[in-house]
Structures are given as structure tokens and as C-alpha cells.
């Protein structure tokens, strides 16, 4: 009854501009996989292909949800969400004029999630105590770190089997990055959630990833089979640590 993701030979772009080129990767059941890459290398494009927001021109995307395979190519974004795949988008995309709680409730629109709204809310408030204190505050008036927590919590309100997180560290102070990344680690450890996380913050990503891939110009240039293998790789050192 696993939840996993398999991407094979994916090619995608915008108009005549090709961004992803014959890209393959996988995320196993309960794994946290980091997709590392600097600006403009195709991380968000890959995540948008999985969510049905960008249409690939070739390749396969298969999501195994509770042991059953689903071919995601051609599916609409709302159907991908209904299957049990949630996205924490780049830039958070909250409803700034709605309260914390209203944002969370809107996250529960998935059919399977609606019956469990009370339970999910309780879970979110327990996982993110800061949101409990601020449940009536307008989302737009919260700090960057709080907004990132809310975006993560809102995705969890869909009770997903697979979570896609697009650059959770952007715009946050080092301390808040640690807190947000720590929460993702907690979700993995407590629930065995299957996570694909795009990140530029190599050191933080490697702290929680089981393994990872480095994407350069839309191609996987390196596959690290373990956290250690990623951290030791020469390409990774060159790209991220300037060594």
C-alpha cells in the first residue's frame, strides 16, 4: 500500500523553449527526496508537470497512491489533488485577506479531506502551534516564516499521500529556514509522508533528504543515493559551496 512517484523521460517547456530534457527520477514510499538546482534550471517546471499545470511533450509520470498506479500525464491539477498529491507552491500563494483558519479550511476541498476537516485542523494546530495563536489573523499580515508554515499546513489539510514542496526556504532568515525544514522532517518521521522537495538551500535540504538529484539546465546531472553521497559530490560542492 505504498505511495511513490516515478518520472521517466520527461521533456517539457514553454512554447518553443525546452526546459526539461529526458528527465527521469523517482521518489520511493516514505522517502524525502531533494531536487537541488540553482535558479532557472527547471525545478518548478518539473513540479508543475507533476501537478498537471504544465503539459509535458514526452515521458511518463506515474504516481502510486495506496498501492495503485495512476498515470498523471493529461490529468487536470484539481484531479491530481483529488488523488492525494498536494503542492506547497513557490511563493506560498496564500489568500492574504483571509484569516489563517480560513486559509486552512480552503485547503480541505479535496473530497477525501472534507469528512476529516476537524481532525485535520486539530492536527495542523498541534503541528504548528504558532498557527493556533494566530488562527484569526489575516494571512497577509503574518511574517514570512509563519506564512510558509501556513502554506505547508494548508497542503496538509488535503490529507495528501504525496507532498511536493517548492523552495520552502526562499526569503526566510536562517533560523526560520531551520524551523520550516525541521517541520518537514517531523512530518516525514511521524507519518512516513512521501516528499519531493525542490530547494536551492543545499545544506538545509541535505539535512532532511534521504537522497537527491541535482538538476542543471533541465537534466539530472547527478543522482545521490544517500545524504552523504550528495554532500560529498564534486558538482554539488561546485554549485553550492563554491569549492
Ligand X SMILES: Nc1ncnc2c1ncn2[C@@H]1O[C@H](COP(=O)(O)OP(=O)(O)OP(=O)(O)O)[C@@H](O)[C@H]1O
Q: Which residues bind ligand X (CB under 6 A)?
A: 14, 17, 19, 37, 39-45, 90, 167, 200
- Binding segment toward Mg ion, per CB under 5 A, in 27-35, 42-50, 54-62, 93-101: 42-50
Residue 94 or 157: the one with the smaller Cβ distance to Mg ion is: 94
Q: Please identify, among the stretches 43-51, 156-164, 180-188, 211-219, the one whose residues bind Mg ion according to the rule CB under 5 A.
A: 43-51
User: 44 vs 158, which CB is nearer to Mg ion?
Assistant: 44
Using CB under 5 A, pick the residue from 3, 4, 32, 44 that binds Mg ion: 44
Out of ligand X, Mg ion, none, what residue 39 binds, judged by CB under 5 to 8 A for its kind, is ligand X
Q: How far is the CB of 233 from ligand X (least distance, A)?
A: 18
Angle 95-101-107 (CA atoms, 0-180°, nearest 5)?
65
202 vs 208: CA distance, rounded Å: 10
Round the CA-based radius of gyration of the chain to a whole number and report it. Answer: 17
Decide: is 169 part of the binding site for Mg ion (CB under 5 A).
Answer: no
Question: Is beta strand 4-14 parallel, antiparallel or unpaired with respect to 194-199?
Answer: unpaired
Measured CA to CA in angstroms, residue 32 lies from 18, 61, 95, 104 at distances of: 27, 18, 28, 24
What secondary structure, in 3-state letters, does 120-170 show?
A: HHHHHHHHCHHHHHCCCCEHHHCCHHHHHHHHHHHHHCCCCCEEEEECCCC
Question: Which of Mg ion, ligand X, none has residue 41 at its interface (CB below 5 to 8 Å by kind)?
Answer: ligand X
Q: Check the CA dihedral 82-86-89-94 and report its sign.
A: positive
Write each residue from 65 to 104 as x if it is in contact with Mg ion (CB under 5 A), else as -, in one continuous string.
Answer: -------------------------x--------------
All three cell numbers of 127, joined, read 503541528
Shorter beta-carbon distance to Mg ion: residue 3 or 41 = 41
Residue 206 CA neighbour count, 13 Å, CB half: 23
Smallest distance from Mg ion to CB 171, Å: 13
Task: Note the Cα 32 to chain centre separation in Å.
Answer: 10
Tell me if 201 contacts Mg ion by CB under 5 A. Answer: no
**Footprint on this chain of Mg ion (rule: CB under 5 A):** 43-44, 90
Amino acid at each position: 500500500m505504498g505511495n511513490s512517484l516515478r518520472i521517466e523521460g520527461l521533456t517539457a517547456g514553454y512554447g518553443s523553449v525546452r526546459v526539461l530534457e529526458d528527465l527521469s527520477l523517482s521518489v520511493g514510499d516514505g522517502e524525502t527526496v531533494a531536487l537541488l538546482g540553482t535558479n532557472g534550471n527547471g525545478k518548478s517546471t518539473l513540479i508543475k508537470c507533476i501537478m498537471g499545470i504544465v503539459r509535458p511533450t514526452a515521458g511518463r509520470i506515474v504516481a502510486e497512491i495506496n498501492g495503485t498506479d495512476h498515470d498523471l500525464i493529461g490529468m487536470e491539477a484539481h484531479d491530481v489533488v483529488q488523488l492525494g498529491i498536494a503542492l506547497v507552491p513557490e511563493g506560498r500563494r496564500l489568500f492574504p485577506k483571509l484569516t489563517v483558519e480560513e486559509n486552512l479550511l480552503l485547503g480541505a476541498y479535496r473530497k477525501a479531506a472534507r469528512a476529516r476537516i476537524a481532525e485535520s485542523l486539530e492536527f495542523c494546530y498541534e503541528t504548528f502551534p504558532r498557527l493556533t495563536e494566530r488562527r484569526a489573523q489575516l494571512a497577509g499580515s503574518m511574517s514570512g516564516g509563519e506564512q510558509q508554515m501556513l502554506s505547508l499546513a494548508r497542503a496538509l489539510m488535503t490529507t495528501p499521500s504525496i507532498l511536493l514542496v517548492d523552495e520552502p526556504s526562499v526569503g526566510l532568515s536562517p533560523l526560520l529556514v531551520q524551523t520550516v525544514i525541521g517541520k518537514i522532517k517531523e512530518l516525514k518521521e511521524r507519518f512516513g509522508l512521501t516528499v519531493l522537495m525542490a530547494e536551492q538551500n543545499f545544506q538545509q535540504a541535505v539535512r532532511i533528504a534521504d537522497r537527491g538529484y541535482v538538476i542543471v539546465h533541465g537534466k539530472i546531472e547527478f543522482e545521490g543515493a544517500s545524504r552523504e553521497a550528495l554532500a560529498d559530490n564534486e558538482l554539488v560542492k561546485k554549485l553550492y559551496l563554491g569549492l
